[in-house]
Amino acid sequence: MGAAGHTGRFVVAELRRRGITPIACGRGTDLDSALRAADAVINCAGPFAATAMPVIESAIGAGIPYLDVTAELEVVTDTFASYAGASIPIVPAAAFYGGLGDLLATAAMDDWPVADHLTIAYALSSWRPTPGTRATGKVSAQRRDGRRIAYTGHRMQFRPGDPPRTEWTFPAPVGTQPVIGEFTMADSATIPTHLDTPEISTYMTANAVDDLRAPDPSGPAAVDGRGRSAQTFLVEVVAQSQGVRRRAVASGQDIYAVTAPLVVEAATRILAGAGDAAGVASIGARFDAKDLLRSLSPEDLTPVFHASGPRSDS
Ligand SMILES: NC(=O)c1ccc[n+]([C@@H]2O[C@H](COP(=O)([O-])OP(=O)(O)OC[C@H]3O[C@@H](n4cnc5c(N)ncnc54)[C@H](OP(=O)(O)O)[C@@H]3O)[C@@H](O)[C@H]2O)c1
């Protein structure tokens, strides 16, 4: 669903690259009949506040797994609340936001049953948002009445006022950058569904927030044969427990493009019988996080895991 959108096109190309025949669906598609002919559905049509529920209902009717790439944390929360007992596997936010941070947090915590604190720090070299991202930002802002959200004290809490500004020292080559705090994305909704931590701090590089908030932002421009933009990303997750830190980091090119191998890998694994339990579970909860991250092509993602200690232990 949403196959003609910017992200949908990356997903269709990734399916074809793996020898899987996509059934491209859009607004005019009779979804019930299309899904009856499919093995799984990947929903790329956002804002998902409008599309997640009808596509999930159609997937339940067809008896096939449902995955989406929503970045809307409220949609993730609603999906868990509404479909916990669903008869099909449902994977919300199997994407850059909501999926990658969840996998990295799962990998960083490893065998810890609980962490005192998780930090997710996103470094984007730039962020030229698609129309879908801009529309989604508006819908989410309306749902929150303009307020921010932070995961603290084991729950989502609204925050008034301006977000905190600080600096975060990312691994090389990104280094120390000005960041905006409480940049709470779908990862903060997926992670607490299966990892035990009272606090999730989030940071986004300030330049990317400035790009996103520009009055008339231009969309991503392709610079390679796959249609990826020049945008680079690095996501660092730090788990802390009793004074010990564990870190997991992933870097790559183009947050929209990397969403395709993440969601297609998840769908492929479910169809192969791994992580295919019925009901709602995030990508980090369903699969061996380190194995999934390592299974992606280095052209898509480079993950690095640090058991504990300072950055120089890498
Ligand atoms: N979590 C993440 O990291 C991540 C990564 C990538 C994308 N996303 C999300 O994915 C969504 C799409 O992003 P994009 O970059 O692909 O945007 P896009 O290029 O603007 O494409 C949006 C697609 O969604 C379709 N769509 C929108 N509302 C619809 C509705 N009510 N019913 C049916 N189709 C609808 C559009 O169809 P029409 O052209 O017919 O309007 C279009 O195909 C956004 O919500 C974005 O936030 C999230």
Residue type, 36: R
Task: Report whether pLDDT(313) > 70.
Answer: no
* CA nearest ligand 1 atom 35, residue: 45
| pLDDT band (50, 70, 90) for residue 42 | very high
Task: Report whether pLDDT(314) > 50.
Answer: no
Calculate the CA dihedral of residues 101, 102, 103, 109 and round it to 10 degrees: 100
Predicted pLDDT at 217:
75
Distance of CA 131 from the midpoint of ligand 1 (Å):
8
Look over the chain and give the mean of its residue pLDDT values, rounded to a whole number: 95
> Which tens digit of pLDDT belongs to each residue from 282-304?
999 999 999 999 999 999 999 99
The two three-digit tokens of residue 175, written as one number: 């280094």
Judged on CB neighbours under 10 Å (0-12, 13-18, 19+), 113 is: exposed
* CA nearest ligand 1 atom 20, residue: 132
Residue 292 within any structural domain of the chain = no
DSSP states of the chain: --TTSHHHHHHHHHHHHTT-------TTS-HHHHHHT-S-EEE--S-HHHHHHHHHHHHHHHT--EEE----HHHHHHHHHHHTT-SSEEETT-SIIIIIHHHHHHHHHTT-SB-SEEEEEEEES-----HHHHHHHHHHHHHTTT-EEEEETTEEEEE-SSPPEEEEEPSTTT-EEEEEE----THHHHGGGTSB-S-EEEEEEHHHHHHHTSSS-------STT---S-EEEEEEEEEETTEEEEEEEEEE-HHHHHHHHHHHHHHHHHTTSS--SEE--HHHHS-HHHHHHHS-TTT-EEEEE-SS-GGG-
Residue 215 within any structural domain of the chain = yes
Where residue 193 sits, what CATH number does that domain have? 3.30.360
Task: Report whether pLDDT(309) > 60.
Answer: no
> Which tens digit of pLDDT belongs to each residue from 62-94?
999 999 999 999 999 999 999 999 999 999 999
> Which tens digit of pLDDT belongs to each residue from 120-156?
999 999 999 999 999 999 999 899 888 899 999 999 9
Residue 170 within any structural domain of the chain = yes
Residue 159 within any structural domain of the chain = yes
Task: Report whether pLDDT(172) > 60.
Answer: yes
Task: Report whether pLDDT(312) > 60.
Answer: no
Residue 305 within any structural domain of the chain = yes
Distance of CA 268 from the midpoint of ligand 1 (Å):
22
Total count of domains within the chain: 1
Kindly state if the Cβ of 49 falls inside 6 Å of ligand 1: no
Which residues form the domain of 207? 107-257+299-313
Among positive and negative, which fits the CA dihedral 70, 75, 80, 86? negative
> Which tens digit of pLDDT belongs to each residue from 173-186?
999 999 999 999 99
Looking from the CA of residue 185, the nearest atom of ligand 1 is 1
Predicted pLDDT at 288:
98
> Which tens digit of pLDDT belongs to each residue from 99-114?
999 999 999 999 999 9
Predicted pLDDT at 145:
87
pTM: 0.97
Task: Report whether pLDDT(311) > 80.
Answer: no
Residue 35 within any structural domain of the chain = no
Looking from the CA of residue 130, the nearest atom of ligand 1 is 15
Residue 222 within any structural domain of the chain = yes
> Which tens digit of pLDDT belongs to each residue from 203-261?
999 999 999 988 887 899 999 999 999 999 999 999 999 999 999 999 999 999 999 99
Residue 216 within any structural domain of the chain = yes
- The total number of residues written for the chain in this structure: 314
> Which tens digit of pLDDT belongs to each residue from 8-32?
999 999 999 999 999 999 999 999 9
Looking from the CA of residue 71, the nearest atom of ligand 1 is 1
Mutate-to-test residue for ligand 1 from 12, 133, 190, 263, highest number of ligand atoms within 8 A of CB: 133
